[in-house]
Amino acid sequence: MDDYAIGVLTNIGLFSFVALSAYLLLIAGEMSFGQQAFFGVGAYAGGILTALYGWPLPVAAFAAMGLGALAQLLVALPTLRLRGLYFAMATLAAAEMARILFELLHWRRKVDGELAGPDGTQGFRGIRWIFEHGIEPLHYLGIVGVLLALVLALLLVVERSKLGATLRGVGEDPELAASVGVDVQRVKLAVAAAAGALAALGGVLYAHHNTYIEPRNFDIMLGVHSLAYALIGGLGTAFGPLLGVLLDIGVLESTRIFQGYRMIVFGGLVAVVLIYRPRGVLDERIVQWLRQRFS
Amino acid sequence: MLADFLQNTLDGLSAGASYALLALGFTLIFGVLRRANLSFGPSIMFGAYCATWAHVNFGASLLLLALITVSGAVLAGAYVERLCFAPHRGGSAIAAMVASFALWMQFEELATLVMPRHLYAFPMLYEGDPLSLGPLTLRVDTLAMLAAALAACALLWWTLYRTRFGLAVRALIEQPAAAALAGINVPWVFMRVFALASALGGIAGYLVVATHGQITPMLGMWATLKGLLAMMLGGLGSLPGAVIGGLALGLIEAHTQWYLGPQLRDLVAYLLLFVLLAARVPWMTTRSAS
Amino acid sequence: MAQAALFLIFFAAPLLAHAQSPQAELRCKATGEDFVYDCIITLSRGGRPLAGAEMAVAADMPTMPMAHNVRPARARPGAKPGEYKARLDLEMLGEWTIKLRLDSPVRDLLVLHYEFDSKGATPRKR
C54-76 pLDDT per residue, tens: 888 988 888 777 777 677 888 88
Residue B168 burial by Cβ neighbours in a 10 Å radius (0-12, 13-18, 19+): buried
C4: CB partners within 8 A, 6+ apart:
none
| DSSP assignment of chain A | --HHHHHHHHHHHHHHHHHHHHHHHHHTT---S-HHHHHHHHHHHHHIIIIIH---HHHHHHHHHHHHHHHHHHHHTTTTT--HHHHHHHHHHHHHHHHHHHHH-B--EEETTEEES-BGGG-EE---HHHHTT--HHHHHHHHHHHHHHHHHHHHHHHHSHHHHHHHHHHH-HHHHHHTT--HHHHHHHHHHHHHHHHHHHHHHHHHHHSEE-GGGGSHHHHHHHHHHHHHH-SSSTHHHHHHHIIIIIIIIHT-TTTTTHHHHHHHHHHHHHHH-TT-TT-HHHHHHHHHHT-
Chain center to CA of A145: 15
Angle of CA points B26, B29, B32, to nearest 5°: 140
Question: Per mean pLDDT, which range of B104-108, B127-131, B211-215 is the poorest?
Answer: B127-131
Distance, CA of B16 to CA of B225 (rounded, Å):
13
Residues of C in contact with B112 (CB under 8 A): 92-93
A265-295 pLDDT per residue, tens: 889 999 999 999 999 999 989 998 988 988 7
Are residues C118 and B116, on separate chains, in Cβ contact within 8 Å?
yes
Residue A261 included in any domain: no
Share of chain A above pLDDT 90, in %: 71
The minimal CB distance from A271 to the residues B102, B108, B285 is found for: B102
Which residues lie across from B41 on neighbouring strands?
none
A28-74 pLDDT per residue, tens: 999 999 999 999 999 999 999 999 999 999 999 999 999 999 999 99
Residue A126 included in any domain: yes
| pTM (predicted TM-score) | 0.89
Residue A265 included in any domain: no
Share of chain B above pLDDT 70, in %: 97
A214-261 pLDDT per residue, tens: 999 998 989 999 999 999 999 999 999 999 999 988 877 666 677 778
Integer angstrom CA distances of residue A10 from A134, A151, A205, A230: 17, 16, 10, 18
Q: Are C99 and C109 in contact (CB under 8 A)?
A: yes
Q: Angle of helix B40-58 relative to helix B2-33, nearest 10 degrees?
A: 110
The minimal CB distance from A278 to the residues B95, B108, B229 is found for: B95
Provide the chain A residues 121-180 that lie in CB contact (below 8 A) with chain B: none
Distance, CA of C33 to CA of B273 (rounded, Å):
46
Integer angstrom CA distances of residue B138 from B21, B142, B143, B146: 21, 7, 7, 11
Closest CA to B24 of B231, B206, B263, B185: B231
Q: B112 at the C interface (CB within 8 A)?
A: yes
Distance, CA of B21 to CA of B234 (rounded, Å):
13
Chain center to CA of B142: 17
Q: A82 at the B interface (CB within 8 A)?
A: yes
> Omega of the bond prior to C105 within 30 degrees of 0, cis?
yes
Residue A256's CB is within 10 A of a number of other CB atoms, namely: 13
Residue A193 included in any domain: yes
Residue A152 included in any domain: yes
Share of chain C above pLDDT 90, in %: 0
Domains of chain B: 2-285 (1.10.3470)
ipTM of the complex: 0.91
User: C39 φ, ψ to 5°?
Assistant: -120, 145
What was the pLDDT predicted at A255?
A: 66
End-to-end alpha-carbon separation of chain C, Å?
A: 46
Q: Are B255 and B268 in contact (CB under 8 A)?
A: no
Helix H, strand E, coil C: the string for B146-162 is: HHHHHHHHHHHHHHHHH
Q: For residue C122, what is the enclosing H or E element?
A: strand C121-123
Closest approach of A278 to chain B, Cα-based (Å): 5
Q: Alpha-carbon dihedral of residues B272, B278, B279, B283, nearest 10 degrees?
A: 80
pLDDT at A25 over 50: yes
Q: B26 at the A interface (CB within 8 A)?
A: no
Average pLDDT over residues B148-166: 88
Which residues lie across from A188 on neighbouring strands?
none
Phi-psi bin for C22: left (phi > 0), alpha (psi -120 to 50), beta? beta
Residues of B in contact with A270 (CB under 8 A): 98-99, 102
pLDDT at C14 over 90: no
Angle of CA points B284, A279, B37, to nearest 5°: 40
Distance, CA of C123 to CA of C119 (rounded, Å):
13
Residue A171 included in any domain: yes
Residue A158 included in any domain: yes
Closest CA to A271 of C52, B63, B103, B216: B103
A109-158 pLDDT per residue, tens: 988 888 889 999 889 998 999 988 988 889 999 999 999 999 999 999 99
Phi-psi bin for C47: left (phi > 0), alpha (psi -120 to 50), beta? left
Which residue range is the domain that position A117 belongs to? 3-218
Residues of C in contact with B118 (CB under 8 A): 93-94, 117
Are residues A249 and C62, on separate chains, in Cβ contact within 8 Å?
no
Looking at per-residue confidence, does B203 or C52 come out higher? B203
What was the pLDDT predicted at C16?
A: 46
SS3 label, residue C46: coil
- Total tally of structural domains belonging to chain A: 1
Q: Are B213 and B121 in contact (CB under 8 A)?
A: yes
What was the pLDDT predicted at C13?
A: 45
Domains of chain C: 22-123 (2.60.40.1930)
pLDDT at B275 over 80: yes
